[in-house]
Copies of this chain bind each other. A is one copy, B any other.
Amino acid sequence: MTALSDSETAPRGGPVPDSAFLKQLVAVIRAEDSHGTWDGKPDTELLAEFIVTPEERRAIPIICDPEPEVLWRMARFHDAVGLMIERRTGCTAAQMDKFHHEGFGRVVLISGRLVVVSRHLRDVHRWGFPTWVRLAEAGAALVDEAVALIERFPEAARA
């Protein structure tokens, strides 16, 4: 496995780790690009908005409603988590979310009758990760938790 393309030249968010989750996230985003508009874009540029440095974070107001773009990125992030869960367990994971327009709410991934990922989030206006390492770790941790839960309740996950 190789690192993401152009990883040497991405100083914002620190070093880009060699991560299966980041590769899955890139694949999810490129799958949305039906006209090939982003073919020339390096992976790190495609994922650049997932990085929100502490300075950037402070600059984002939480008074208005969250931007549709941040909700779109959150959905792609959880799509990638769901696909990795499926690859490791064979269980598809369907995403549902419910957000108040003020930016708090819940995201779940459901396999069969089991809620394999359940997250309550707030201030989603500012959703993002300070570093590439944190982004990669956050995705991988959710996948690991979900796989453990499916192993604990295999019958419910396949009900």
Is A96 at the interface (CB under 8 A from chain B)? yes
Q: Which of A118, A155, A156 has the most CB of B within 10 A?
A: A156
Q: Which residue of B lies closest to A153 (CB)?
A: B156
Copies in the assembly, this chain: 2
A70 at the interface (CB under 8 A from B): no
Q: If A153-B155, A156-B153 touch, does A106 touch B96 (CB 8 Å cutoff)? A: yes
Report which of B94, B97, B118, B159 forms a contact with A113, defined as CB distance below 8 A: B118
Q: Which residues of the partner chain B approach A71 to less than 8 Å between Cβ atoms? A: none
- Mark interface residues in A43-84 (1 if CB within 8 Å of B CB, else 0): 000000000000000000000000000000000000000000
Is A108 an interface residue, CB under 8 A from the partner? yes
- 8 A Cβ contacts from A105-119 to B: 106, 108, 110, 112-116, 118
Chain A, residues 87-107, CB within 8 Å of chain B (1/0): the string is 000000010111000000010
